[in-house]
């Protein structure tokens, strides 16, 4: 699973690089530096579908 995030505070353009879900994406450190508190966080995973033929 991969996680990404972006800041939703006004015109801020901060965006985290995609990272494995078990690692922090940087929202906390961005919030600590800027005071921004609203983020869009996206979790994505890959599903492998197989058939039993």
- Rg (the chain; Cα; Å): 15
The pLDDT value given to residue 53: 77
**pLDDT, tens only, 12-50:** 999 999 988 877 789 999 999 999 999 999 999 888 999
pLDDT band at 52 (very low <50, low <70, confident <90, very high): confident
């Amino acid at each position: 699973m991969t996680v990404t995030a972006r800041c939703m505070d006004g015109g801020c353009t901060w965006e985290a690089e995609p990272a494995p879900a078990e690692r922090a994406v940087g929202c906390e450190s961005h919030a600590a530096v800027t005071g921004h508190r609203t983020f869009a966080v996206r979790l994505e995973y890959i599903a492998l579908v197989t058939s039993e033929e």
